[in-house]
Every structure is written in C-alpha cells, then in structure tokens.
Structure 1
C-alpha cells in the first residue's frame, strides 16, 4: 500500500497561501525536489492543479521560461513528468499527465493508495482537510518559514477532530525555515512493524 503524504510551506502563524512570502530558495527547492521524487504520483484539487500547471508545466517549446532559476528546473522536470490525479467536480478533462478523480473521494483515494509504489503526494489547502477527515493521510511534512503573514488560508483550517502525530524527522535550513515530518500516530505501526 502506498503512503499518502501531505507536504506544504507554512508561515509561523499558520498561513499556507503560496504568496505569503514563503518562496523556496535554492536549498529549499532541492528539498522539495527530493520530496517530489519520493512519490509515484501527486493528488491535487482543481485550484492547486491549475496553479501548479501554470507555474511548472514545461512550455510547448520545451524551453523553461527565463524567470526560472537553474536550481528550480529539477523540481519543474520532476513535477512535469509526474502522474497527477485531480479531484474536481467542475473540470471536464485534465491533461498534463493527469486523470480526473470521480465518485466517492474516500473510495477513490483508497484505491490509489492500494496500488503498488512508493507513495502519493498531496498538496493544496482544501483537499488535504477532506483527506485528513477521512483518516487517509499517513504522513505530514510542514516547512515552517520565519514569516508572519497575518492573513490568508490557515493550515488544515476546519478540521473537525484532533489528529495525533509523531515527529519522525526535523531539518533546519539556512533561511531559518524548519522542515518537520510527522506520521499519523494511528498509522505508525502496521502488523507490528513500523511503517
């Protein structure tokens, strides 16, 4: 069974908006590239899918845009070729190596997790709340930036019940950001073995 991993940048006051001043530098982009490479596929809601596509899809020319730094290209290439699953009731079709997820969210994601492979990555703001409510997220990675946004969408805002997590890894970056990886406490052991 593939683990479902939720990873996101977050400010000290819990803001997860992509424009809240948490843009990765070269060191952090290397970290995010390695995180992307831990997954076989990504799972996005419509908004995140469209945002990621507009920023990271390889142009038809095959040449990455001039605004992109050389150290951003490995991330862009990893994401561009990654299979994607898009949860949306408003899209009629998705391309960019993408397939729409239809029907019951829990059943669809359980079926994706049951496929062989290394793992699934989920991003965004709204979809992860629904997946956490269903108990489907196995691992959470929060890269906490030394920024106070003061506004914007908050991390897992609206979650109806507490989710107990176990810290499994912590890494500090030169920028002052700190990556913290957690496993869901209930999912830590399967058949007596650590997952």
Structure 2
C-alpha cells in the first residue's frame, strides 16, 4: 500500500493562503526549499486540486529556465515535469506535463491509487485534501508553520466527523522561525 502525505506551508492561525489566495507570506528560505525538493524527489505521484495545479503548472514547467533559478529550483522543475501527477477537477478539461485528469469520484480514485504498491503519494490543495482527510485516507501530515497570522483565507484543516489521533515523528526549525512538524496517523 502506498503512503499518502498531506503537507503545505501554513500560517500560525492555520491557513495555507490568506484572503484572496495570497501566499506572499510563504516564501521559503533556501534550506526550506531544499527540504521541499527532497520531499518531492521521494514522492512517486502528486495529487492536485485545480487551484494548486494551476499555480504549479503556471511556473514549474519552465522554472529551470528562469535566469535567477538556483540549483535546487532547477532540480525541482525537472523533477516536477517528470513526476506523474493526477489533477482532480470538474472545471478544467486539459492537463499537461505527465499529468492525467480525473473528473469523477476523487475518493474512489485516491483509494484505488493508495492500495497500489509504490512510492509515497503527496496531496496538495485544501479542497481536495479536506475530502480525503474526511475519508480517513491521509497517512502523514507535514505542517510547515510560518510565523505569521493572516486572519482568514483557505484553511489547512477541515471540519471532521470524528477525531484523528496522530503521532509526532519529526520537528525541525528552519530560518525565519519556520517550524516543520510531521505527524503520522495512528491506525
């Protein structure tokens, strides 16, 4: 069975984007970007909701060609293009860059993918992750907390029908007071 990991940058008050989809507060240090790169290199499949897909596909297909791209950004862009991706959306009709589109039941498809053998899968996008979280499919949470309060926006966590018990497995501090906390779901 594949492991399903949900991880994103989060504000202290629990948002992945401020009102208006503003993520300007989440610019990573070089050290944090390297951690995200290592996470992406370890993932065998990326699962995206529409909004995250649109943001990622607007930049990363040519991110390695930017004049100020670092070595880590170049490697991230190349890996992003090569890694298989699945986008879950009923509002778009085309995807590129080693990606397939699923317009039907996301939970059924993610359950099927999770049952396969293979490298871990990562999931990004609050709406998609919320449905998957409620279905009890997430095996690990990677919460990268930035020391900022934004007062509203898109939450990282969703309302749940029952508690989810977690075991802490890692805590690490990055420059600027950014804190990574990893939790595994207790099954």
Q: Is 1:30 aligned with 2:31?
A: no
What secondary structure sits across from 1:27 in the alignment? helix
Deviations, residues 90-115 of structure 1 (Å, cap 9, x unaligned): 22221111011243222211111122
Cα distance change of structure 1 residues 102 and 78 upon mapping to structure 2, 3 Å threshold: same
Q: Identify the residue that residue 3 of structure 1 maps to in structure 2.
A: 3
Alpha-carbon distance in 1 for matches of 2:153, 2:161: 20
Query: Could you list the runs of 4 or more consecutive aligned residues of structure 1 that deviate by over 6 angstroms after TM superposition?
Result: none
* Offset, 1:32: 0.1
Q: Identify the residue that residue 108 of structure 1 maps to in structure 2.
A: 109
Once the two structures are superposed, the pairs formed by residues 49-68 of structure 1 within 5 Å of their partners are 49-58=53-62, 64-68=65-69
**RMSD (CA atoms):** 1.7
* Offset, 1:25: 1.3
TM-score between both structures, scaled by the size of structure 2: 0.90
Q: Identify the residue that residue 13 of structure 1 maps to in structure 2.
A: 13
TM-score between both structures, scaled by the size of structure 1: 0.87
* Offset, 1:172: 1.2
Alignment: residue pair count: 183
What secondary structure sits across from 1:93 in the alignment? coil
Q: Identify the residue that residue 192 of structure 1 maps to in structure 2.
A: none
Cα distance change of structure 1 residues 23 and 145 upon mapping to structure 2, 3 Å threshold: same
What secondary structure sits across from 1:91 in the alignment? coil
For structure 2, the 5+ residue unaligned runs are none
Q: Identify the residue that residue 150 of structure 2 maps to in structure 1.
A: 149
Q: Is the 8 A contact 2:90 2:104 kept in 1?
A: no
Q: Identify the residue that residue 88 of structure 1 maps to in structure 2.
A: 89
What secondary structure sits across from 1:31 in the alignment? helix
Q: Identify the residue that residue 79 of structure 2 maps to in structure 1.
A: 78
Q: Is 1:122 aligned with 2:123?
A: yes
Q: Is the 8 A contact 1:2 1:118 kept in 2?
A: yes
2:45 to 41, 44, 48: 41
